[in-house]
Amino acid sequence: MPVPENAVELVQEDVESVFREAFPDGTFEVPQPFDELAPIGSDDVAVVPWYWRGTHTGDFREVRRTGLPVEFAGTTFLTGSGDDLRFHRIVDWHSLYRQLGLMMVCRRPRTAETEEADDADLAAVQPEA
């Protein structure tokens, strides 16, 4: 099943569908050196690497608008055809959320794997005479 020749436009519409509301001034771009090559792929799959740049002036899921500029990358693999088109997306969500100022670090939770390290820490603790 050959993928459509307008795969780039389809991917752009798909990306805009999820980000346009939160980033009303956002732009979709297929970066160099892929801009002239896209869609890349074979008869069965098209690959479209892309960037989204915009200002976070609308809410994105539970993330309230911050007014911050963001730029992040994604790649969409397109399979199928006609009404059975399927989008397989790899998005740099971490970069997006980091630029929105969300705290992405937290102390590691205590697990079986950390027990040994904790024991080593505790070895440095002893009641004073």
Partner 1 sequence: MPMPYTLTRGPLLTLVENALNPQNPAEEDRREVLLTELRQGTSLPDLVTAVQQPFAGLAVPKAPLHQRLRDDWIGQGANGPPSEPTGYWVGYQGDVEGVLRQGLIRTLEVSMGVSHDAPPDTATRSWPVQVHWKCPNPWFEVWVSWRRHDDTPRGGQVDMLIATPPDKANRLTTRPQFPPAAADRAASALNPLPEPTDATDSQGMWLVAHEHHRLDVADERVVARGGRRLDIQTGRVNTGGLQPLPAGEWLVPTPSTMWVDEGEVITVEPPSHAGGADTRRNNLP
Give me the residues that bind partner 1 (CB under 8 A), please: 10, 13-14, 17-18, 21, 61-63, 77, 79-80, 85-91, 93, 97, 100, 102-111, 114, 117-119, 121-128
Burial 84-109 (b: 16+ CB within 10 A, else e): ebeeeeebbeeebbebbeeeeeeeee
Task: Give whichever of 2 and 61 is closer to partner 1, judged by the CB atom.
Answer: 61
Residue 122 backbone phi and psi in degrees, to 5: -70, -25
Nearer to partner 1, 36 or 128 (CB): 128
* Residue 36 or 121 having the CB closest to partner 1: 121
Structure tokens at 109: 């939770």
The distance of closest approach from Cβ of residue 114 to partner 1 in the complex, given in angstroms and rounded to an integer, is 5
- Minimum distance of partner 1 from residue 29's CB (angstroms): 19
Neighbours of 30 (CB within 10 A): 18
Say if residue 69 is preceded by a cis peptide, omega within 30 of 0.
no
Least gap, CB of 127 to partner 1 (angstroms): 5
Nearest CB to partner 1, comparing residues 65 and 89 = 89
Closest residue by Cα to residue 49 from 35, 69, 68: 35
Nearest approach, Cβ of residue 95 and partner 1 (Å): 12
